[in-house]
Amino acid sequence: MRLSLSAYEMELVRKKLGREPTEAEWATIDALWSEHCSYKSSKVYLRSFPSTGERVVMGIEDWQDAGALDVGDGWAIVLKLESHNHPSAIDPFNGAATGVGGIIRDIISKGAVPIALLDMIRVGNLNKDKNRWLLKNIIKGIGFYGNSIGVPVVGGELSFDETYDDNPLVDVAGIGIVRKDRIVPSIVKQPGLRIVIVGLTGLDGLGGASFASRKLSGENEIGAVQIADPFAGKIVLDVTLAVADKVDAIKDLGGGGLVVGVTEMANGLGAVVDLDKVPLRVSDLTPEEILISETQERMLFAVKEEKVKEVCKEFEYYEYPCAEIGYFTEDSIVRFRYKGKDVVRLPSDLLLSPPLFMWDVKRPIKQVKERPEINIEEAIRKTLIHPDFVSKEWAYSQFDYEVGTSTVIKPGEADASVIVLPNQKLLAVKGDANPDLCEEDAYECGKYIVAEAYRNLATVGAKGIGIVDHLQFGDPRKPEVYYTFVEALRGIAEAAKFFNTPVVGGKVSFHNENKEGKPIKPTPLIVMAGLVENKFLRPSVENGLSVVMLGLTRNELRGTFLTKLYGSFGDVPKVRLNEDLLASELIIQGINEGKVKFSKDVGRGGLVTALFPILVKNCGLEVQTSQIKTDAGDDLLVKLFSESSGRFVVLTDDPEWFIRNKKGVMASVIGKVNSDSGILKIDGKSLDLSREIENYYNYLYKVIEND
């Protein structure tokens, strides 16, 4: 058995127990002490996140499988964000599909009905056969599971960088809805409750938590990847929600399998589990295999003795396995038995108290060069043809994003997706990351991605109310990697506090490296949820509308998409959170008063990529850069490509409204929409972007489908 435990940790276990653990006990400890399950290298710093607030129903400190936020009228949304990076690198179809399944089970473990999914995907350069294969099958896997169980994929991200060649990132966020008074806990507080498992246990996913807690080795690790079965998942979804009011606690059997599920649900109490009562897909599994299998479509319930038959009867109606396998005790000892004999007998406090690590940090030395000569037209065209900025219709057209009839703003329509809740309120959601900026300055990046998500929600008329995050880095034992982790977390915490968007859940994923041991670019990611306070905006583009720009454009080019193309130079964007807040409030006010036809925040790619969605709507644009508010004088490169935060592009038929109501926000009229389809005129010079627009619509279809 391959363990992720260090020699130090193994010796610590021996000293605490006063004996040598059995093979099954080593497997148990390895799963519970893995980075994937224990957060042993991150927990100390995660405590700095703001996790409480007036809308927080369930936060990080509650030790639940998902966070929950009050959305009014007695309702709460349940949020969860997870990844399946390593499994997707080995088997992209099943890796991505089971990532969706795991998120769904986390949502239903709260008694919540899943109403939306977002997927954030990062793969390497599409010039490589393997990356095209990965992407095609990742998208198929997500669509296969989400479409089969009837949960819409309403948004996400799709980005490309060579740093992800061996180690793609596949993040999935889930959103559910539940009455606040019907949220089901994931932990038990009293002994005597029966432990009930549903689903079959097989050989797939063996040691998955340990596998996710080390770098990809290049060996055949297909056995650590779970197999997706969305049709079984649909049964689990429907019946779990049907019995939610009959049980005391629910937990998804995900990372670490049965040993982690039982121990975490016990939450310091003890448990007795008979492994030979676990329904098996494959006969003659060893006790160790039953313990750590991560076979999908399984749930764990804590049930009062008199209700066990009633709960199992609901599953048996669909011929779905359901069995009582043990009970919780008050002695704080976790015991797994096989054929009447203990194969695991370990104290809860040992299993739930791994050593916490704070590794050495070292600030990376960045090589910054002199600013090169850059041809403006060339830079515009090179930016706009990059796959990061093309239409993602190829991906989201494979998802059923309208199932459930709650999707108001669909994928690709705006900077954020909008869904209607049962209380008729509108929920906006968006995921954001910026690995290029994080590679240059992780602290500013942490602030930036929160601020950008807040701005994205504002573009549809929503105000952010809460966050879930996923922190994805290389090996934390490498000082430069750990430095970027600590700094990114510091930036996220600061911005979350400023915007009053508490972090109610998340995940840390370390050991994301290529086969040579080079870490990925630091990729913290956040998903923010917000509520539309009055009106929502479905963007529209019309000839004759004025282009208004909000915010100050600063001479901050390092860490931008431009310097990704031309090398690192200049200064890193410094995030002024108050500017993001004020500009976002002005946008929301403008939407509520009917003054905004189209709104987009100026982010990655700068003004060029903010204007491009207008051009692809069969319109032309005329822009006068002399009207752009900037600290860089007449520097056209800065005006077009700076990624300074706190800025928006707005289309309006009443530009003076923004000048009158700017309230501390810099605002100026910089151009007009015209009928010269595909023509961008900058300071009188016309650029015909017809080829770039054709590339925008066709690139992914041509590259992937013609592979």
* 106 among annotated binding-site residues: yes
Phi, psi of 327 (to 5 degrees): -155, 160
Residue 106: which H helix or E strand, with range?
A: helix 92-108
3-state secondary structure 23-54: HHHHHHHHHHCCHHHHCCCCHHHHCCCCCCCC
Residue type, 412: G
Phi, psi of 8 (to 5 degrees): -60, -45
Q: Which two tokens stand for residue 95?
A: 């890796």
| Cα pseudo-dihedral 641, 584, 159, 496, rounded to 10 | 120
- Please list the residues that pair with 489 across neighbouring strands: none
3-state helix, strand, coil in the chain (%, to 5): 35, 25, 40
* 39 among annotated binding-site residues: yes
* 514 among annotated binding-site residues: no
* 84 among annotated binding-site residues: yes
* 85 among annotated binding-site residues: yes
Helix locations, 567-605, DSSP H: 577-592
* 252 among annotated binding-site residues: yes
* 469 among annotated binding-site residues: yes
Lookup result for tokens 């029966």 = 194
Question: Which residues are part of the catalytic machinery?
Answer: 36, 84
* 166 among annotated binding-site residues: no
- Please list the residues that pair with 507 across neighbouring strands: 470
* 555 among annotated binding-site residues: no
* 509 among annotated binding-site residues: yes
Q: Counting beta carbons within 10 angstroms of the beta carbon of residue 54, is it exposed (0 to 12), middle (13 to 18) or buried (19 or more)?
A: exposed
CB of 119 closer than 8 Å to CB of 418: no
d(CA 621, CA 150): 41
Q: Which residues contact 418 (CB under 8 A, 6 or more apart)?
A: 407, 408, 409, 426, 427, 428, 460, 462, 532, 536
Q: Are strands 426-433 and 503-509 parallel, antiparallel or unpaired?
A: unpaired
* 119 among annotated binding-site residues: no
* 105 among annotated binding-site residues: yes
- Please list the residues that pair with 334 across neighbouring strands: 271, 346
Q: Counting beta carbons within 10 angstroms of the beta carbon of residue 67, is it exposed (0 to 12), middle (13 to 18) or buried (19 or more)?
A: buried
d(CA 96, CA 265): 26
Three-class SS state of 429: strand
Residues annotated within the binding site for Mg(2+) are 82, 106, 252
Feature table: binding site: 39, 80, 82-86, 105-106, 226, 252, 469, 506, 509
**Binding-site residue ranges for substrate:** 83-86, 105, 226, 509
Residues in the annotated binding site for ATP? 39, 80, 469, 506
